[in-house]
Amino acid sequence: MTVDFRRVIRPVAIGTIALLTEYALLGTQQFANALTLGAIYALIALGYTMVYGIVELINFAHGDIFMVGSFLAMWIMTTVLGLSGPVTNLLNLVGLLSIVMFATMVGMGFIGMFIERFAYRPLRHAPRLAPLITAIGVSFILQNIISSLFGPSPVNVPQIVPLDKFAFMGGKIGYLNVFMVVLAVVLMIALQLFVGRTRLGRAMRSTAQDREAAELMGVDINQTIAITFFIAAALAGAGGVIQGLYFGSIKFDLGFFVGLKAFTAAVLGGIGNTTGAAIGGFIIAFVEVYATVLGYTQWSEVAVFTVLILVLVFRPSGLLGQQLGERA
Amino acid sequence: MTAAIIDPPPGGDLILQARKVTKAFGGLIAVREVDLDIPRGAIISLIGPNGAGKTTFFNVIAGILDPTSGVVELGGRRMVARPVRAWLEPVTWVLPAVIIGALGVLAYQASPTAGGLIVLLALIGLIAMLLAAIVRPAWYRVLLERFGVFKSARPNEMVRAGIGRTFQNIRLFANMTALENVQVGMHLKMKSNAADALLSTPRARAEETASVASALHYLELVGLKGRGDQAARNLPYGDQRRLEVARALASEPALVLLDEPTAGMNPRETREMTELIGRLRRDLGLSFLLIEHDMKVVMGISDRVTVLDHGECIAEGTPDEVRRNPRVIEAYLGRPPE
């Protein structure tokens, strides 16, 4: 349980140097943009990677879970809390944001568990392709439910956080950006602690490595997998809240594009590895922002997937992925 | 053919009782009507030539396979194929039909054709379910299992009931440390739930600390003191085997199933493992069921030996009795020339 500092120092040093370089290259404004975008991608990528790690299923519905999360947050803000514009009282704002965040995460968590229970669990012993196709089906179901409930056109999300910015090192950063990045980082650290230091986290890791052996040691596989889906969907829900607040409008097919990039991030970082997914999310966001800064906005996706291909050519299992052959 | 009832030791009782266990895979009968009794505190060995059905029988006892027929009782509780939440059974197939029917009635007010169709669909669903239950009970059973209505005792319930086991091919959680491997074994003994973990309640933290102390104790017990922080995959082979034993002990079982505990070990490691098993029985009062090929180990520590050949129990008795049994010699060495 003791932390080995030598093992921590190197990645922290590399990360700090990378971030400082990015900052020097991009400048305050774009740096903040990239970090915020990266936070969203990372939160979703974590869900892809956790689910893959434990049931070896690429959950194609995960992007749509994120989309449903953004709609759920919008619905809570407008219909339940009756908000429509910026909330200027700081105390109120913090309270409201916490409520929205908490309710969305818990709500999405249960939706994730529900999907696992009725769409994936019955197919757990079926050939690998069956749950994959089911995931695509779930993705369509979610998209169509949302588009029939809220309509196929973009829906506005109330901007409850004032768009104030503060000057920082020659640029301007929105309070919103700071809030989002801090939130994402806190959630990721919480996830790492949960997986690394608790009984249920150990159950998750043991299930991911050898499901049958874990079961024979007394781990309840169904419960563990359900918890994994809960956490994955809750993180996607948090990403959905951020998406709505940051971009101001959401659409029923949002999950496809963002989900694809988050999935790329998970693969880039090494699918099955949570740290890798977080790093992958930020890398993809930075690549995208670079493309925009250099004036090639239309090419940003090409750049993202070029990076993915290059990484996979030299490290087929992703940046932090375990070499194949680990699971026999 | 298989009268294998052991007189319970004085004051003792049976931990596990298998009666006429048969397991067939399609037409192949892997285990035929095998009986086995394990008294408390005994070391029982299961031997037999390759392909004798040892592993199948072992897996039935461990709860991985359901027997085709026969009963396994653990501490007097029957452990296989039982319905749970049986009241759910009618609900699972009547309720959807009722809901769909109700929707159909609602839809009927808007459009009689659509409503009628939906009601018809609900009826067809009900009838199909009924037919499945009558014509193909096996499908119906599988369906109910999927709904969680009818299910076998899951392996983790066997752990709760007091069975710990090791594996023929080591199946540690290779990327976790030795200590964490043992902690996974304690999973069922720990109580903290998701809410505790998220809020990091004092209860959860105290339990975590206690589990570390307890895991260290088990590591010391099997002779792995000071190895707790190493990843399981980095341990030497013999230590991995012992770590598996420690992990099995961590669930505080009454009966430990050891699947070839000395496979691939050198003579010294084998001797140490044998001593360890004997010591655990003496100090902790555990019972053991071994599958083992090394006759020195089997004859050295077993109280009783059961011999399987071609899925049938051909001999049962103390090591000396078994050693002299002509059928056992025949099974191992072949029939002597007339």
Q: CA A257 to CA A266: how far, in whole Å? A: 14
Q: Give the residue numbers spanning the domain of A221.
A: 5-43+60-251
pLDDT at A50: 92
Q: Is residue A25 part of a domain?
A: yes
> CB of A124 within 8 Å of any CB in chain B?
no
Which residue in A190, A194, A214 is closest to B184 by CB distance? A214
- Asked if the Cβ–Cβ distance from A198 to B190 is below 8 Å, we say no
Q: CA A5 to CA A1: how far, in whole Å? A: 12
Tell me which chain A residue has its CA closest to the CA of residue B174: A209
List of chain A residues whose C-beta atoms are within 8 Å of the C-beta of residue B183:
199, 202
- Asked if the Cβ–Cβ distance from A210 to B173 is below 8 Å, we say yes
Tell me which chain A residue has its CA closest to the CA of residue B172: A213
| A residues 260-299 lying closer than 8 A (beta carbon) to B | none
- In DSSP notation, A235-258 reads HHHHHHHHHHHHHSEE-TTHHHHH
Which element (helix H / strand E) includes A55? helix A5-55
Helices B178-185/B202-221 angle, 10° precision: 110
Which residue in B158, B173, B211 is closest to A206 by CB distance? B173
Based on C-alpha coordinates, what's the Rg of chain B? 25
Å between A305 CA and nearest CA of chain B: 30
Confidence check: pLDDT of B141 > 90? no
Q: Is residue A39 part of a domain?
A: yes
Which residue in A194, A217, A220 is closest to B184 by CB distance? A217
- Asked if the Cβ–Cβ distance from B156 to A220 is below 8 Å, we say yes
pLDDT at B3: 33
Higher model confidence: residue B142 or residue B285?
Answer: B285
- Asked if the Cβ–Cβ distance from A199 to B198 is below 8 Å, we say no
Domain count, chain A: 1
pLDDT at A250: 92
pLDDT confidence band for B243 (50 / 70 / 90)? very high
Q: What is the 3-state secondary structure (H, E, C) of B226-286?
A: CCCCCEHHHCCHHHHHHHHHHHHHCCCCCEEEEECCCCCCCHHHHHHHHHHHHHHHHHHCC
Say which range, A25-29, A116-120, B11-15, B208-212, has the weakest mean pLDDT: B11-15
Residue among A125, A199, A209, A326 with most chain B CBs within 10 A, to mutate: A199
Q: Is residue A55 part of a domain?
A: no
Confidence check: pLDDT of B310 > 90? no
Q: Is residue A306 part of a domain?
A: no
Give SS3 for B57: helix
List of chain B residues whose C-beta atoms are within 8 Å of the C-beta of residue A212:
64, 155, 171
Q: CA B245 to CA B278: how far, in whole Å? A: 13
Residues (pLDDT < 50) of chain A are: 1-2, 323-328
pLDDT at A263: 92
List of chain B residues whose C-beta atoms are within 8 Å of the C-beta of residue A219:
156, 184, 187
Give SS3 for A151: coil
Q: CA A144 to CA A151: how far, in whole Å? A: 9
Examine the predicted complex and report whether its ipTM is higher than 0.85.
no
Q: Is residue A324 part of a domain?
A: no
Q: What is the pLDDT of residues B164-205, one digit of tens each?
A: 888 888 889 988 899 999 999 888 888 777 777 777 778 888
> CB of A102 within 8 Å of any CB in chain B?
no
Confidence check: pLDDT of B327 > 80? yes
Domain boundaries, chain B: 1-81+154-162+253-338, 88-151, 173-236
Q: CA A213 to CA B247: how far, in whole Å? A: 11
Q: What is the pLDDT of residues B54-96, one digit of tens each?
A: 888 888 888 777 777 777 887 766 665 455 555 666 676 677 7
Architecture of domain B1-81+154-162+253-338: 3-Layer(aba) Sandwich (3.40)
Å between A53 CA and nearest CA of chain B: 13
Å between A185 CA and nearest CA of chain B: 16
CA-nearest of A122, A66, A89, A68 to A263 is A66
Residue A8 to residues A14, A253, A276, Cα–Cα distance (Å): 10, 40, 15
Residue B164 to residues B211, B243, B244, Cα–Cα distance (Å): 18, 13, 10
Q: Is residue A166 part of a domain?
A: yes
Interface of B with A (CB under 8 A): 62-64, 146, 154-156, 158-160, 165, 167, 171-176, 180, 183-185, 187-188, 190, 192-194, 197-198, 204, 207-208, 211-212, 247-248, 251
pLDDT at A39: 92
Single pTM value for the model: 0.82
pLDDT at A91: 87
pLDDT at A135: 94
